[in-house]
């Protein structure tokens, strides 16, 4: 087993922490909101033709919204952790 150390491209990591990951987080918000609104054929809260499927649909959409929210939390946690890692490495490298 090799012990060559850990390498990180801080500039690329900073791009991920400051642009890519926050962009992904923002893109999760609209579908989460829509799923939680229980959107029917005629808009929010309206199910008319889909009444008999309402409870199944609500259960499915709630599950999907919870999964997206968990992903949103995980991505935000990764942004925070990566930002701290970048600060630490730059401090160690004397770049801060």
Query: Nearest to residue 38, comparing CAs of 55, 61, 56, 65?
Result: 61
pLDDT digits (tens, 9 = 90+) for 14-67: 999 999 999 999 998 888 888 777 655 566 655 565 566 777 777 888 899 999
pLDDT of 90 strictly over 80 = yes
What is the per-residue pLDDT for 33?
A: 82
Residue 75 falls inside a structural domain: yes
Domain enclosing residue 39, as ranges: 10-93
Higher pLDDT: 5 or 11? It is 11
Residue 59 falls inside a structural domain: yes
What is the per-residue pLDDT for 3?
A: 54
pTM confidence score: 0.67
pLDDT of 76 strictly over 90 = yes
What is the per-residue pLDDT for 75?
A: 94
What is the per-residue pLDDT for 80?
A: 94
Say how far apart CA 3 and CA 65 lie, in whole Å: 42
Residue 32 falls inside a structural domain: yes
Residue 43 falls inside a structural domain: yes
Span 58-78, mean pLDDT? Answer: 90
Residue 1 falls inside a structural domain: no
- Classify residue 9 by burial, with Cβ atoms within 10 Å: 0-12, 13-18, 19+: exposed
For the chain, how many structural domains are there in total? 1
Residue 2 falls inside a structural domain: no
């Amino acid at each position: 087993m090799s012990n060559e150390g850990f390498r990180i491209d801080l500039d690329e990591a900073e791009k991920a922490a400051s642009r890519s990951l926050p962009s992904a987080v923002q893109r999760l918000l609209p579908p989460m909101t829509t799923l939680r609104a229980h959107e029917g054929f005629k808009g929010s809260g309206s199910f008319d033709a889909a009444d008999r499927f309402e409870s199944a649909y609500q259960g499915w959409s709630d599950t999907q919204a919870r999964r997206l929210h968990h992903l949103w939390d995980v991505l935000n946690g990764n942004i925070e952790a990566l930002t701290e890692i970048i600060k630490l490495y730059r401090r160690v490298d004397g770049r801060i």
